[in-house]
């Protein structure tokens, strides 16, 4: 699957929100701008309004198996009142999806965009790529963009820590 489309950007933003559950408004704005979200300027109230949503997004990444992830993501589409529309910003400008009207404000748009992003990844067969780091004590989530899609850790650092402790355990039990 392609990971650089605007639709999948919603999944990247979902990852960011889960990993930054209490962002400062400028951080949130920068993250949205990174993914070409329209009118990304976030207020403190916007950032606060998205906190419970980040918790709901997290459940998708942590759910066991694609079926559970799909059921949760489907529920998010409804909760976010996600209604795709084809929009162009002027004559000759490309048409693209908006998942909630810009007039609804930033939090509803981010909810709809992130729900659509996760749903799109699952629709494209990438549900197992919505993952959470398996190192105990690490709560980082990710969209696995690797070729084989077998990522288990957020970073090499977490993978190494687990490998080191497994090695120590083996050494002790010998």
- 70 or 162: whose CB is closer to Zn ion? 162
- 69 or 135: whose CB is closer to Zn ion? 135
Tell me the closest approach of the beta carbon of residue 102 to Zn ion, in angstroms: 8
Tell me the closest approach of the beta carbon of residue 43 to Zn ion, in angstroms: 21
Interface residues for Zn ion in 75-94 (CB under 5 A)? Answer: none
Tell me the closest approach of the beta carbon of residue 138 to Zn ion, in angstroms: 3
| Burial class (CB within 10 angstroms; exposed 0-12, middle 13-18, buried 19+) of 173 | exposed
| Burial track 18-56 (b if 16+ CB lie within 10 A, e otherwise) | bbeeebebeebbebbeebebeebebeeebbebbeebbeb
Token representation of residue 114: 């992130």
Number of residues that bind Zn ion (CB under 5 A): 7
Interface residues for Zn ion in 104-123 (CB under 5 A)? Answer: none
Interface residues for Zn ion in 120-149 (CB under 5 A)? Answer: 133, 135, 138, 140
Site string for Zn ion, 37-76 (x = CB under 5 A): -x--------------------------------------
Per the document, the length of the chain is: 174
The site for Zn ion (CB under 5 A) is made up of: 38, 133, 135, 138, 140, 154, 158
């Amino acid at each position: 699957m392609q990971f650089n489309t605007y639709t999948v950007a919603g999944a990247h933003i979902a990852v960011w929100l889960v990993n930054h559950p209490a962002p400062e408004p400028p951080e949130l704005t920068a993250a949205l701008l990174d993914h070409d979200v329209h009118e990304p300027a976030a207020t403190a109230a916007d950032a606060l309004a998205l906190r419970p949503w980040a918790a709901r997004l997290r459940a998708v990444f942590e759910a066991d198996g694609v079926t559970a992830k799909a059921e949760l993501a489907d529920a998010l589409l409804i909760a976010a009142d996600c209604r795709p529309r084809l929009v162009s910003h002027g004559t000759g400008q490309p048409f693209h999806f908006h998942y909630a009207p810009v007039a609804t404000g930033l939090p509803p748009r981010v909810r709809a965009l992130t729900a659509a992003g996760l749903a799109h990844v699952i629709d494209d067969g990438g549900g197992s790529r919505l993952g959470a780091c398996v190192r105990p004590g690490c709560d980082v989530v990710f969209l696995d963009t690797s070729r084989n899609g077998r990522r288990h850790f957020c970073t090499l650092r977490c993978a190494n820590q687990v490998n080191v402790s497994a090695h120590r355990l083996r050494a002790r039990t010998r």
